[in-house]
Structure 1
Amino acid sequence: MRAAAPIGPVNARGIAAEAAHMIREAIMDGSFRPGEELREGSLAESLTVSRGSVREGLSILEREGIIRTGWHRPATVIPVSRDHARNLYRLRAGLDRIAAQGAAHHTRADGFSPALESLRSAVTDGAARSEVVRADLEFHDAVYEVADNAPLTSAWQAIRSQIRLYQLVRSAEPESGYDSSLVAEHSRYAEILTSGDVETAGRYAEQHVESALEGLLGRLGD
């Protein structure tokens, strides 16, 4: 008889992932601010889980890049900065360009329509800023899905939570016309992707990210 595979307990892993999810959402809704400490004991008490599960959850968030840990120091939410934003968005521009080119090559119109409609509905309905940002990123998730490039999608997922955090900072107090331009930009993005024009899609993707970075840097100040 073949021995059982050496796989750890599912429940413990599930609890850690759920702890990571809850802490991540608390960071994104502003309950924990950039630079704020995350104490294992307090988190374990609030989430009614063990400190070990919290520790595993924090490790997940550290890999996502939205918290930092150190030896004998509490975990902290990453501080937002202009330098980090520039580096992060330059990386994103390169990834998005490749994703847009891949998506345009596959030209699947149905791949973008649901995400675009969700973004339009979030804006039209006056949804919370967190929901608008969520819909924005789900549109880009769809681009990566249509591009059908597993290593590229993994690279996007590795920075997605950091992008989400910065997008929330960017859109916290949007200027007049921001939401309508957001929908217009993504509508144009979808049109270019479905046209099959690979080179234009790549250029537009980079311009889209550069525009987002410019607005973010204006929000972060000097």
Structure 2
Amino acid sequence: MPQELNYLKETPSQTAGPYVHIGLAPGAAGFDIYRQELGWDIAGPNAAGQRIRVEGLVIDGTGSPVKDVMLEAWQANSEGHYAHPEGGGDVEEGFRGWGRVITDFATGEWAFETIKPGKVAGRNGAIMAPHINLWIVARGINVGLNTRLYFEDEAEANTADPVINVIEWERRRKTLIAKRTERDGKIVYRFDIRLQGEDETVFFDI
């Protein structure tokens, strides 16, 4: 008789918290582990382009801010190149194009400073509008959520973006657009992420 095979059972899923900050952003959680916190410097001092601040809240289905979220951001430089061998071209010294931030434990606000990315060549040469890719994880989220931040003042490029155009309803597309303001002479883009509800942010299965 053929020998029976013993298969390992799937490990039960669980959410990321409450210790996600200790492992992934220990400095913000009050632990002095690294000389330099991993993932805070997105653009570096040598990056060309327009310096911007991006900020927002992650909001749950009841309309309340979620205060224990970690976000990771990926972006191209101002010329539309990623810091990767297949990123489309050279990037400035020190440009990482990747960062990690957590929400303020008291207010739920998150923010990071970077440079505004340029248009990026996508699949089959299709040009994507300037955008920042975001990955969100927190207690209560079993699988990290992926979304994109586009810029309000790039309306023409947004109209032609192949990813935005996959979204059928105009109302849903608007959940990916960050609003531009200015504060103390700095350009600020506001991007609130809604996890549930009528204006739920569009999330991508990638």
TM-score by length of structure 1 reads 0.24
Greater helix content? 1
Higher normalized strand content (fraction of residues): 2
Normalising by structure 2, what TM-score? 0.25
